Structure 1
C-alpha cells in the first residue's frame, strides 16, 4: 500500500483541525453553554474561560468593524498561499506543519466571518500563561514549530540547491 503523499497528508490534517476546532467550539457554546468571561476550573492549573477574541492568535491586535474583514482577508490570503505551497511539497514534516497552520487559520476564519470574533476558551493562566486560546490557535503554534523543524532538517538541502 502506498503511503499518503505529503500534500494529501497536509490536506487531511487541515480538515481534521477544522472539524475538531468547530466541534469543540460548538461544545463550549451549546454543550456546556459557558457564558462570556465565566470560568470552569477543570484542573488546578487548567480552566475553561469563554472569551470573544476580536484579534489574532492569543488575543493580539484586537479589531472590530473593518478590521474584522481585513483580518479575515489576510487569514484567507495566508491560507491560500500555504495551500499552494502544500500542493508543491514532497516533505512530510513540511506538509504536517502547513496542514496544521492552514486548518487553524481556516478554523478561526470561520468564527471571525460568522460571529465577528473568535471563540477562545483554553486557559492556563494558573501556569503563568496569560493567554486564552482554542484548538485552532494551538494547531497554528504547533504547525509553526513543525515548519521551523522542517527548515532546520532541510536547511543543508536548500543551501546545496542555491
Structure 2
C-alpha cells in the first residue's frame, strides 16, 4: 500500500502543480491559448463541467460526479488491497491520484480545469484534458490489463 500511496500523492501533486503553473503562472486563464509546439501541443483553457469530452456538461452534475469519482476510488482501493502486485498498486495510485485531482477542481471551481490540447497529422482535436486525466486513463488501462489472478483449488 505504500507504493500505491506514493504514486497517488505524486500524481495528485503533479496534476495540481501543473494546473497552477500553466493556468495561473503562465496566465492561461486570461489569454485563453498558448501555442507550445503547435499543432502537437497547445495550452488551451477549458472548464469541463461534464464527464469526459464535455458529456453531461449541460446538467449541473458537480456533486454527482464528485461522489462517483470517490466511489470509483474506493472500489479501486478495495481491489488493490486484495491484490499485492506492484502493477496494481501503481495503476490504482495513478487512477486515485488523478481522480482526486479532478475532484479538487470540481469542489473548488465547480468544474475541472483542462489545458492540454494535442493535434497531429491533419486531425484537429477540439478537446482539452489535464494531467489528472492522463493518470486516470493510465491507471484504468493498468487495472484492465492486470485482472485478478485466479486462485487454484486444492484437491
Measured against the shorter chain, the TM-score band is: 0.7 to 0.9
What is aligned with 2:96?
Answer: 102
Q: Secondary structure of the equivalent of 2:29?
A: coil
Q: Compare the two structures and name the one with the higher helix fraction.
A: 1
Partners of 2:102 and 2:89 lie apart in 1 by 20
1:141 aligns with 2:133: no
Partners of 1:110 and 1:147 lie apart in 2 by 23
* Contact 1:123–1:133, Cα closer than 8 Å, also in 2: yes
* Contact 1:37–1:51, Cα closer than 8 Å, also in 2: no
1:74 aligns with 2:68: yes
* Contact 1:57–1:137, Cα closer than 8 Å, also in 2: no
Partners of 1:69 and 1:11 lie apart in 2 by 25
Structure 1: runs of 5+ lacking an equivalent:
1-6
> How many residues end up aligned between the 2 structures?
150
* Alignment of structure 1 residues 28-39 onto 2, 5 Å: 28-35=22-29, 38-39=32-33
CA apart distance, 1:8: 1.2
Partners of 2:31 and 2:97 lie apart in 1 by 26
CA apart distance, 1:159: 6.8
What is aligned with 2:150?
Answer: 158
TM-score (norm 2): 0.86
What is aligned with 1:4?
Answer: none
TM-score (norm 1): 0.83
* Contact 2:23–2:115, Cα closer than 8 Å, also in 1: no
CA apart distance, 1:60: 2.7
What is aligned with 1:3?
Answer: none
Q: Secondary structure of the equivalent of 1:35?
A: helix
Partners of 1:61 and 1:148 lie apart in 2 by 25
RMSD (Å), alpha carbons: 2.0
CA apart distance, 1:64: 4.6
Structure 2: runs of 5+ lacking an equivalent:
none
- More off after superposition, 31-40 vs 10-19: 31-40
Q: 4, 7, 24: which one pairs with 1:13?
A: 7
* Contact 1:18–1:136, Cα closer than 8 Å, also in 2: yes
Q: Secondary structure of the equivalent of 2:50?
A: coil
What is aligned with 1:54?
Answer: 49
